[in-house]
Amino acid sequence: MRGPVAVAAAALALAAVPALAGAPRAEARPFEEMSERTRRAIGRGLEFLDRSQSRDGSWSSNGNYIAAMTALSGTAFLGAGHTPGRGRYGKNVERAVSFLLRHQDRTGLIATPSEGGRAMYGHGFSTTFLSQACGMDSDPERTGRVRKAVQRAVMLIARSQSPAGGWYYTPESRTDEGSVTVTQVQALRAARNIGATVPGKTIDRAVNYMKKSQNADGSIRYRVSMGGGGRPPLTAAGCEVFFSLGMYDAPETQKALKNLRQQMGNNRSWGHQTYFIFYAAQAFFQAGGDDWRKYYPKMRDIILNSQKGSGEWQGDHVGGVYGTALSLMVLEIPWRYLPIFQR
């Protein structure tokens, strides 16, 4: 995988969520889902993102991937209950929303020149973030503007789907690869959450693409047209995509989940570890039960033990903003604020 890879599938609706303190579910758990140590780590991470936001509302990775980093950072604030205009960091979220709205062009693409040849990452992340922010915003005027932007973004995604059913780094490139495809599928699901019109054939072709990208052992390949074994980070992301598409009990989902369990049992670094943990945590949360209880503590502790004194996390050689945003979203899962993490 190349470039900043990441975020998000959303659930069918923004459901009621527990108090910010993170009330546990009724069933007994062998671990404390939201510990005091985790709360402190989240607080320090949010402070780092607060300090790192530019005056225009954006974030970047050393000046690169500005739309992508802005969307990911904004989503991390949403995941801690800070919504447009509400909460300690509500203004940070507002500025991020405004920045991304200003950077949607006439084609519907949300990106900046800093994305270079990988604009579809920023577009997908931005569509996901704006969709979730829209569902949490009490300002009707801003909500209306965001809805229109999201609908235009969806149409750009639909036009950019390859003949095989996937997506690539740039719009309408007519080819595809797995990590960009994951980002666009999750953006479509998030957009549909807030009532955006998503062409059914676009979803159907994306499902078919993900199925064809899967090997017999459940792993997911980098590209549907490639042979060889699957990649653990893409297997984690693909498993989450199957869940996000509502394929909870489908054979493809269960095979991917089985492969993911095997990868977690290897007790090693997985390569693109921040990306891997980000999607694996989502997949195990949606799987629930023993999968969540067994594997989440391991991933959570890896994150907690790697936080720097500044409050940041480094991530996959992309930088501190990327690593911090993704790590925060994993730690925030028990609060259940984001539709992206719910069935």
Q: How confident is the model at residue 109 (pLDDT cuts 50, 70, 90)?
A: very high
pLDDT of residue 20: 29
pLDDT in tens, 298-336: 999 999 999 999 999 999 889 999 999 999 999 999 999
Mean pLDDT of the chain: 89
Q: Give CA separation, 255 vs 207, 234, 249, 291, in Å.
A: 15, 14, 10, 14
Of 95, 21, 81, residue with least CA distance to 329: 81
- Written as six digits, the tokens of 336 are 């259940």
In terms of CATH architecture, what is 36-341? Alpha/alpha barrel (1.50)
In 105-231, which residue ranges form alpha helices assigned H by DSSP?
119-135, 140-159, 178-193, 200-212
| Neighbouring C-beta atoms of residue 256, cutoff 10 Å | 31
Of 244, 236, 239, residue with least CA distance to 273: 236
- Written as six digits, the tokens of 196 are 């955006």
- Token pair 């993102």 in the structure block, residue: 49
pLDDT of residue 18: 31
Distance, in Å, from the CA atom of 278 to the CA atom of 125, rounded to the nearest integer, reads 14
Distance, in Å, from the CA atom of 343 to the CA atom of 333, rounded to the nearest integer, reads 12
Distance, in Å, from the CA atom of 43 to the CA atom of 234, rounded to the nearest integer, reads 29
Percent of the chain beyond pLDDT 70? 90
pLDDT in tens, 206-241: 999 999 999 999 999 988 877 777 889 999 999 999
- Written as six digits, the tokens of 301 are 């502790």
Q: Give CA separation, 206 vs 10, 67, 179, in Å.
A: 16, 24, 13
For residues 160-185, average pLDDT:
95
- Written as six digits, the tokens of 113 are 């020149």
More confident residue, 8 or 338: 338
Q: What value does the CA radius of gyration of the chain take, rounded to a whole number of Å?
A: 18
Task: For residue 23, report the phi and psi dihedrals to the nearest 5 degrees.
Answer: -65, 135
Q: Where are the domains of the chain?
A: 36-341
> What is residue 9's DSSP assignment?
-
Q: Give CA separation, 247 vs 278, 311, 323, 337, in Å.
A: 20, 37, 29, 22
Of 23, 278, 298, residue with least CA distance to 128: 278
Strand ranges (E), the chain: none
The residues pairing with 214 across neighbouring beta strands, listed in sequence order, are: 220
Distance, in Å, from the CA atom of 209 to the CA atom of 225, rounded to the nearest integer, reads 10
pTM score of the predicted model: 0.89
Q: CB–CB of 20/61 below 8 Å?
A: no
Element holding 76 (H helix, E strand)? helix 66-79
The three-class DSSP label of residue 118 is coil
Distance, in Å, from the CA atom of 280 to the CA atom of 311, rounded to the nearest integer, reads 23
pLDDT in tens, 21-34: 333 344 444 578 99
